[in-house]
Amino acid sequence: MKKILSLLFCLITLSTAIAQQHGSISGVVTATDGSPVGYVSVGLKGTSYGASTNDKGRFRIGRINPGTYMVTVSAINITTQEKQVTITAGQAAEVNFILDISTSQLQEVIINSNNNRIKIDNPSPSLRLNEPLLEVPQNIQVVSSQALAQQQIISVSDGLVRNVSGAIRLEHWGDMYANINMRGSQIQAFRNGFNIVNSYWGPLTEDMSFVDHIEFVKGPAGFMLANGDPSGLYNVVTKKPTGQTKGEFSYTTGSFNLNRATLDLDGKLSKDGKLLYRLNLAGQNKGSFRANEFNDRYSIAPVISYQVDDKTKLTAEYIYQRAHMSDVGSFYIFSPDGYATYPQNTSALPAGLPPTNINDHSITFNLQHQLSTNWKLTAQTAYYNYGMKGSSLWAEAIDPDGKYIRDVGQWDAKSKMTLGQVFLNGKAYTGSVTHNILAGLDVGSKDYAADFVNSQPLDTEDQKFDPKNPNLGFPPNGFPVFDRTLSLDERAAASGGLINQRYSGVYVQDELGFLDNKLRLTLAGRYTYVNQSSFGSAAEIAKHFTPRIGLSASIDDQTSVYGLYDQAFTPQSGRLAGGGSVKPLTGNNLEFGVKRDWAHGTWNTTVSVYRILKNNELTAAPNTNPTEGLSVVLGQKRAQGVEFDLRGQILPGLDVTANYAYTDSKVTKLADQVEGITVPAYAKHVANAWINYKLLRGTLKGAGIAGGFTFLGNRQADAVTPIQMADYFKVDGGLFWEGSKMRIAANVFNVLNKYLYSGSYYVYLPGYYYQAEAPRNYRLSVTYKF
């Protein structure tokens, strides 16, 4: 013990001596009206010393060698300021800055701070929260554009979920639909604050070319973003003009004939900088490790913003995505013997089967008006139009020897959504109490029509498909010829493939700040009205009030604790196997957590525990072909667990994203007493990490190494699967070099070349189905900024 104490004393003495050889600089950056300016860069000119201000405008730069330096403050759209300071060993100098910027410019600084950072401190305006994430009484994780670039993620379905605790994709639909699960259920897909889910099979995954960052909100969020699932949502935030004139071109090549190019143009259309534009283009050809599969896509995404005056800004955005891809059912492999029983590249897709074509359009208008220093009004509307013409490959009954008849079902669909939102953010004061107020109105109209009833077998009884010896040539029964003489609306009406929904919601929230806003009490409520019909059922009306109570306390400037009770109300669409009407999903969430910023805000950790109860959730009906779209009702499902997230710059040049989640999801009550009822899939243990290290000095400055892993343990498929899925472990890694203008990166995915898959079991077949992931593969990308 004495030796240990002596060693500790020596270490403390040595640390003190070293600290006394250096000095430090700290200070506060504010606007002319006294508002703190967060997330601007503060540095010592001509050196590598630097930091960023936190949400309070404070900064600190430590371990500076004695001497005289020029301190600079800079950010997009503001004039750089400089001040000279002398550093003395063992002393702390203080330098404060006052920036001459308007409220709208301050908002642009916050928005543009999202670039080139792993850790993002503020939610996007589309989340409607006018406060730092550290103070929000809810677990919200943000995947930045820097993280997307480091990991070479090119689509929402392409490895995105590794960045968020507990997020998984156990039901893949290739790069067609994301279908992300979290906290025991599939979560809702949002874009710029709009819920863009119009059926279980959508929306089309976003190409990363026009995505700035993605926000994962855990638990109910109806007070923020219209109707949502109690388990959470993800909100895709698209790129907007920054006011800088710049461009970026990227080319990526890789395994399975991947060739992809993107172009990002950002600039001004008027000399005064009031009229700005952003244009993102992308095109790709992509093959597969399985025969006859391909996924060719391109996207066009222009954005124009106009600063009407110092208080009003109008933004118009259009996104078009085109997908030309092979039949998505080819991802599924069927076997009577278990998972991964055939070679990894096994396919049932015959060459020549007509492809699936998807055209996805959206247009959004956003108006922001600063009513006063403390009050802001936002109004936005969007129109989404989606069209699909294709098919889905599936299996009829599986023989004991593994042979079966392949069945191709017609899948033509279209989706139209008209959405609108108006909300008000503001601050008011009653004595020493601060009121952070949010109030608004959501309205929406959603229509979905699909013809997926007609089907044709590819094989015959005497010539069945044999996965052990697959014939991928012309099928014995020929290719399907579907009758499309009637319009899609007529075909969908005749087959019961119509979904219609009209909704409106009004909400108000008051976050009361006590003790100089160190203690924050959230009181909120939402009233929702829904009129809907689905799959030929009569129109039904549902009304519901959902309350929200939250408490958040700041232990210090870097640490907060919170508790939350929230409810959710979500309309559902489906056809019940036993007949009858579908009730909306209701649920509640009880959650507690601790958030902390470390090293002056360069990295962050979040720990949360939760329990979610959901009522009337639909799940696929057992003993039926999933292409029939039949469901049964889970009376009540409980999900509870623990989550941990870490993200940010741990050391200069070292970026880390790491997370772990334990999830326990069980059906506690059955509404439909059906033998063999399916429980939605999940994994009890999910762990991820991604590390990116770049050399900041020396001959190899700019070179770096990156790598990470994903682990899924105790994967639960459903209640009746005789054999559970094996644990999942995937390792990725690569090398890169980046300078001021260029970045070259090469990543290897599935480094260990493991046979990775996900799947489940169908009683009606009977048999297993699974989807294999690609063996070891690579991507090489070159990015040039101009």
Instruction: Answer yes or no: is pLDDT of 615 > 50.
Output: yes
Instruction: Answer yes or no: is pLDDT of 2 > 80.
Output: no
Instruction: Answer yes or no: is pLDDT of 195 > 50.
Output: yes
pTM (two decimals): 0.86
User: What is the per-residue pLDDT for 754?
Assistant: 97
Cα distances from 414 to residues 199, 360, 456, 661, in angstroms, run 10, 10, 22, 37
pLDDT band at residue 252 under the 50/70/90 scheme: very high
Strands of 326-354, DSSP E: 333-335
**Do the strands 585-598 and 58-64 form a parallel or antiparallel pair, or are they unpaired?**
unpaired
User: What is the per-residue pLDDT for 763?
Assistant: 80
Instruction: Answer yes or no: is pLDDT of 326 > 70.
Output: yes
Instruction: Answer yes or no: is pLDDT of 323 > 80.
Output: yes
CA 781 – CA 190 distance, rounded (Å): 29
The half-sphere exposure of 269 on its side-chain side, counting CA atoms within 13 A, is 13
H or E, element range at 108: helix 103-112
User: What is the per-residue pLDDT for 47?
Assistant: 78
Which amino acid, one-letter code, is at 237? Answer: V
More confident residue, 673 or 608: 608
The whole-number average pLDDT for the span 744-754 is: 98
The whole-number average pLDDT for the span 292-305 is: 97
Closest alpha carbon to 610 in 585, 586, 589: 589
Instruction: Answer yes or no: is pLDDT of 648 > 80.
Output: yes
User: Token pair for residue 631?
Assistant: 């469901």
Instruction: Answer yes or no: is pLDDT of 346 > 50.
Output: yes
More confident residue, 566 or 681: 566
CB burial of 517-537 (b: ≥16 within 10 Å; e: otherwise) equals: beebbbebbbebebbbbbbeb
Instruction: Answer yes or no: is pLDDT of 4 > 50.
Output: no
Cα torsion for 340, 343, 348, 351, to the nearest 10°? 150
Cα distances from 168 to residues 151, 237, 684, 686, in angstroms, run 17, 20, 11, 8
More confident residue, 525 or 676: 525
Instruction: Answer yes or no: is pLDDT of 675 > 90.
Output: no
User: What is the per-residue pLDDT for 77?
Assistant: 60
Instruction: Answer yes or no: is pLDDT of 14 > 50.
Output: no
Q: Are 678 and 718 in contact (CB under 8 A)?
A: yes
Q: Please, what is the average pLDDT of the chain?
A: 87
Q: Are 70 and 76 in contact (CB under 8 A)?
A: no
The whole-number average pLDDT for the span 75-83 is: 76
Q: Are 762 and 769 in contact (CB under 8 A)?
A: yes
How far from the centroid of its chain's Cα atoms is residue 118's Cα? 14
Least confident of 188-202, 269-283, 533-547: 533-547
Least confident of 64-68, 220-224, 241-245, 438-442: 220-224
User: What is the per-residue pLDDT for 543?
Assistant: 86
Instruction: Answer yes or no: is pLDDT of 676 > 50.
Output: no
pLDDT band at residue 422 under the 50/70/90 scheme: very high
pLDDT band at residue 12 under the 50/70/90 scheme: very low
User: What is the per-residue pLDDT for 225?
Assistant: 55
More confident residue, 551 or 15: 551
pLDDT band at residue 102 under the 50/70/90 scheme: low
User: What is the per-residue pLDDT for 9?
Assistant: 47
pLDDT band at residue 150 under the 50/70/90 scheme: very high
